[in-house]
Structure 1
Amino acid sequence: MMPAELKYTPADEILQIHAELDASFRAGKMRPVAYRKYALAQLGYMLKDNTERIVEAMNIDLGKPAQETHFTELGPSIAEVADAYRNLDKWARPSRPPLHLIFTPLRRVVYKEGKGVCLIIAPFNFPILNAFSPVVSALAAGNTVVLKPSEQTPATATLLAELVPKYLEPSVLRIVNGSVAETSKLLDLKWGHIMFTGSGRVGRIVAGAGAKTLTPVTLELGGKSPVFIDPETCNVDTAARRILFGKTSNSGQVCVAPDYIIVPRSYQDRFVEALKKAYDEFYPDGVHVPGVSMGRMVSSSAFQRVKGLLDATRGTYVAGGSRDESKLFITPTIVRDCAWDDPLMSEEIFGPVLPIVPVDTLEEGIEHVNQGDRPLTIYGFTTDSALQRKLREEMSSGSIIFNDIMIQVGVEGLPFGGIGESGSGYHNGKYGFDAFTHFRASLDSRPWLDILMRFRFPPYSATKIWVSSFLFASLPRRPSGPPDLSARSHWRRWLLFILATLLSSVAIARKKLGPS
């Protein structure tokens, strides 16, 4: 399969696609849960039936090895389909609020409905997972969908434009291909929901477009995700292996890739040796071939940006460092002794370069992270529960992961999303279903309820005010002052001590009495 010249969708066709999908949604095409499950199954089998072609297309676009495509793209995408298919009946079922003395007779119901035609703008780095994970959520929620693949992955985008109409009806899911002009045309339209994955710069444009039409927007952005190394409790070899995998996967072009390492100065040498050992295990012959051992940079501009950061760093290379512009390839590069103001620390690297920042204390690292934008992820390699709590409570991020790298993206049951500069909103599984769902409140009142709620009608009186006060929940007892948190902790320790003492006494007594 040769790289195809991507055929852009004409502007007038974009308007027609939007109108047809809107008409389909309004006609109730996606209302039946059974039809949504059919569409999800078709989507899953589209990915399964065409695995080899997808692997080939992504190798052309990004040099992705087949193993990476299976593990980080196809596997999680098909799992997302299976999860939604398995749970959709439960997710879509109307729910009822808890019992209430007055309001329960109003027959309160919350219906789960689609929002309309949804726009999903996918990124280049995971052109299958970051496209179809939200598509699954949007279809499961009962929406019709326009998917805009990245123009930077033309082979994959061309393949999707061919495959989608073969598996799903055009009244359900359509592909729009193009670049800035086509995306701008899409953003001028009114949508039920927009999901964008990409850079903060473009994310601001998408959010602004959504604001103009009062369209809800989910943004998955990125940022510099730090890794904290605890020399006292981390398994150094495991940490090095997992961090290096995260940095080299997709040539480091991953929004949740470890961006830099924060390590106590006295432990830097030991950790560098562990990274070099993992490096030799990953690439025993020292040869890194795009599409075989790892991927490559997506474009010449991406290559030049990362190369510029490497050229400017004041740190010391300890592994890698070579570049081949003709192949858009940068070998995995580890750089030690980076300062906070090093060029590698000036922006999200989004490439296979791993700077190490030595610090006197981990508190210095915490303070630095807190001075910048809130990252998409914070990683900590430690089994010390006190340090884990410190990292979790003293910093803010989209997620915080201990003793592993990037696995949170595909773990069932967890939301995925950023905060602040790293994004807004959530997706994955039920969280994605909820993001694309309108929770529609409903109630059905009866005439006899006026016996209970007659106080709401004029003429008003002090008696009616007094009666209406019983309708709403009362406040708790007025606090006498701020809680004594140290005292609570003190009493908790005493309770645990008493419980332990009682259990020990029972055990001793049973031992003295012997078998009955």
Structure 2
Amino acid sequence: MNDHMEMMRRSVEELRLTFKSGKTRGVDWRKTQLRGILRLIHENEDTLFNLLQSELGKHPVESYRDEIGVVKKSADHALSCIDKWISPKKGRLPLAFFPASGRVLSEPLGLVLIIGSWNFPISLILDPLIGAISAGNTVVLKPSELSPQCASFLANMLPTYLDPKAVMVIEGGPEVCNQLLQYKWDKIFFTGSTKVGKIVMAAAAKNLTPVTLELGGKSPAIFDSLPYSDLKVAAKRVASGKWGACAGQACIGIDYMLVEHKFASTLIEQLKKTIKRFYGDDVKTLKNHSRIINKAHFDRLRSLLEDPAVAKCIVYGGSFDDTSLIIEPTILLNPPLDAEIMNEEIFGPLLPIITMDNIEESIEFINSKPKPLALYAFTKNETFKKQILAETSSGSVTFNDTMIQFLCDDLPFGGVGQSGIGRYHGKYSFDTFSHEKAVLERSFYFELEPRHPPWNNTKLEFLRSVYDYDYVGVLLILLGFKRPSKSSDKKD
């Protein structure tokens, strides 16, 4: 074990030396690495399909939608934008600084640690890597040990497509992760649970290392009354987003739904029809439905339903297959609010539906809980939409759909409060792994003497004019005249 830790330490130091050499700062190097990622997923698409099917039971269509396609889209987007991203940005300066110029330079942070999650073991590693590489950093990747086949694939294949002296994969379990967290990093990017996120943040604090934490929580969906034609579309989007994305094992998946009493039965019946059409109605022969990642998570989910007070609330599903680790799509109506299923992130194919007298009450219900990573609302009421935006706080809000906000490069993805810190995707990924350095340059020509001691009332008036952006007053003082008094100068 000691030899392994020493080897890991030397590897990390090698990446730090690579960064110090300056090779990762060049735009050609960055583009070469991004093209390498594109070749990796293109040339190994079938292998990735097989790995994701083996470990998580994902259908190739689901794997392309949520993993391979995500990486391709992100890398293509970065390649097309990187020249613009790295260009200095002009900064406006006060006229009083004339002659001077200001600009903002985006520079890489240095050596970055990216810790991925098991539920999307390819995209949740490679997507943030794209941002880190685009910004010019060296990177250590720590894939989840709960998806070991995908982790081994990344460890074995990435060195043949990317610069092995700048990007490295380190496999292992919690002990390896704990050891990595002891090193000094210039940035840590973590995707996972809130519980582990607290550990990561505590370790980072020892060196004042900045962190991005992509966590989770209980993401709600508000379901307003809808006409039948819209209800059918909405039910498809709920069923696909809740059960068709890693069997509900997704940080932005719907955790529970809020609906008025009078509309609940209509919604449930439409969801039942949609579930049967999408996945079937026999746990032994479910199709297009992923498995639970391992026995421990399977048992955790089963225990949520074994609570007698919760079990009697099941209105659809509830069956398990211990051999295949499959849990069928399950709907519960009004489980006790103090039950574990309503207070811990479910992260599985169980969907509680909570009813209320008036849909506007959903806002108070959501605000009584920690801020969610995502908030979904199915409604055509524009006033209610504005109320949701004004009176709730969440990482994102999506109206009349689920999950798709994750795929938008021009929208930031991230949490707030307990659901996360920081954001990424597209330019936001580049910014996350960059430092924006302010650069101000002045000439020796034209010195403003009123900025220097010895002080007098004229210099005070000069500074008032500068901070008031009163350039007429500045000019008058410089010419030897008194600045005209303004109403804001007068005391009450």
* TM-score with structure 1 setting the length: 0.87
Aligned residues of 1:316 and 1:337 also touching (Cα < 8 A)? yes
1:310 corresponding residue in structure 2: 305
Aligned residue among 427, 432, 446 for 2:429 = 432
2:480 corresponding residue in structure 1: none
Aligned residues of 1:73 and 1:128 also touching (Cα < 8 A)? yes
1:469 corresponding residue in structure 2: 464
AA aligned to 1:239 is: A
Aligned residue among 249, 254, 257 for 2:250 = 254
Aligned residue among 235, 240, 254 for 1:240 = 235
Task: Work out the CA distance in 1 between the residues paired with 2:124 and 2:101.
Answer: 40
Q: Which runs of 5+ in 1 are unaligned?
A: 1-6, 479-516
Aligned residues of 2:379 and 2:385 also touching (Cα < 8 A)? yes
> Alpha-carbon deviation of 1:77?
1.0
Aligned residues of 1:233 and 1:383 also touching (Cα < 8 A)? no
Task: Work out the CA distance in 2 between the residues paired with 1:477 and 1:120.
Answer: 56
> Alpha-carbon deviation of 1:294?
1.2
The secondary structure found in structure 2 opposite 1:196 is strand
Aligned residues of 1:376 and 1:417 also touching (Cα < 8 A)? yes
> Alpha-carbon deviation of 1:398?
0.5
Task: Work out the CA distance in 2 between the residues paired with 1:193 and 1:266.
Answer: 50
Matched, 1:62 2:60: no
Task: Work out the CA distance in 2 between the residues paired with 1:466 and 1:116.
Answer: 46
Aligned residues of 1:339 and 1:357 also touching (Cα < 8 A)? no
> Alpha-carbon deviation of 1:460?
2.4
Pick which of 425-434 and 356-365 moved more: 356-365
Task: Work out the CA distance in 2 between the residues paired with 1:360 and 1:339.
Answer: 17
2:277 corresponding residue in structure 1: 281
Deviation track 1:315-342 (CA, whole Å, cap 9, x = no partner) reads: 4323221112222221111112334234
The secondary structure found in structure 1 opposite 2:222 is strand
The secondary structure found in structure 2 opposite 1:447 is coil
Aligned residues of 1:334 and 1:353 also touching (Cα < 8 A)? yes
The secondary structure found in structure 2 opposite 1:262 is strand
AA aligned to 1:458 is: P
1:454 corresponding residue in structure 2: 449
Task: Work out the CA distance in 1 between the residues paired with 2:394 and 2:2.
Answer: 37
Matched, 1:219 2:199: no
The secondary structure found in structure 2 opposite 1:108 is strand
Aligned residue among 394, 405, 409 for 1:408 = 405
The secondary structure found in structure 2 opposite 1:443 is strand
Q: How does 1:123-272 map to 2 (within 5 A)?
A: 123-232=117-226, 235-248=230-243, 249-272=245-268
AA aligned to 1:352 is: P
Matched, 1:294 2:319: no
1:88 corresponding residue in structure 2: 82
Task: Work out the CA distance in 2 between the residues paired with 1:209 and 1:53.
Answer: 36
1:18 corresponding residue in structure 2: 12
> Alpha-carbon deviation of 1:99?
5.1
Matched, 1:47 2:41: yes
> Alpha-carbon deviation of 1:350?
0.2
AA aligned to 1:236 is: L
Aligned residues of 1:93 and 1:111 also touching (Cα < 8 A)? yes
Matched, 1:77 2:71: yes
Aligned residues of 1:134 and 1:432 also touching (Cα < 8 A)? yes
Change over 3 Å in CA distance of 1:285–1:269 after alignment to 2: closer
Task: Work out the CA distance in 1 between the residues paired with 2:487 and 2:252.
Answer: 46
Change over 3 Å in CA distance of 1:271–1:204 after alignment to 2: same
Task: Work out the CA distance in 2 between the residues paired with 1:315 and 1:85.
Answer: 53
> Alpha-carbon deviation of 1:376?
0.5
Change over 3 Å in CA distance of 1:285–1:367 after alignment to 2: closer
AA aligned to 2:107 is: E
Task: Work out the CA distance in 2 between the residues paired with 1:473 and 1:92.
Answer: 34
Deviation track 1:485-514 (CA, whole Å, cap 9, x = no partner) reads: xxxxxxxxxxxxxxxxxxxxxxxxxxxxxx
2:363 corresponding residue in structure 1: 366
Aligned length: 469
The secondary structure found in structure 1 opposite 2:24 is coil
The secondary structure found in structure 2 opposite 1:30 is helix
Task: Work out the CA distance in 1 between the residues paired with 2:327 and 2:175.
Answer: 31
Task: Work out the CA distance in 2 between the residues paired with 1:342 and 1:231.
Answer: 27
Q: How does 1:343-358 map to 2 (within 5 A)?
A: 343-358=340-355
Aligned residues of 1:190 and 1:213 also touching (Cα < 8 A)? yes
> Alpha-carbon deviation of 1:288?
5.3
Task: Work out the CA distance in 1 between the residues paired with 2:185 and 2:270.
Answer: 50
CA RMSD across the alignment:
2.0
Change over 3 Å in CA distance of 1:200–1:69 after alignment to 2: same
> Alpha-carbon deviation of 1:307?
0.4
Aligned residue among 32, 35, 38 for 2:32 = 38
Change over 3 Å in CA distance of 1:462–1:225 after alignment to 2: same
Aligned residues of 1:288 and 1:294 also touching (Cα < 8 A)? no
Task: Work out the CA distance in 1 between the residues paired with 2:81 and 2:15.
Answer: 25
* TM-score with structure 2 setting the length: 0.91
Aligned residues of 2:38 and 2:72 also touching (Cα < 8 A)? yes
Task: Work out the CA distance in 2 between the residues paired with 1:355 and 1:257.
Answer: 13
The secondary structure found in structure 1 opposite 2:258 is strand
Aligned residues of 1:222 and 1:375 also touching (Cα < 8 A)? yes
2:333 corresponding residue in structure 1: 336
The 4+ residue runs of structure 1 with deviation greater than 4 A are 287-290, 474-478
Aligned residues of 1:233 and 1:384 also touching (Cα < 8 A)? no
Aligned residues of 2:283 and 2:320 also touching (Cα < 8 A)? no
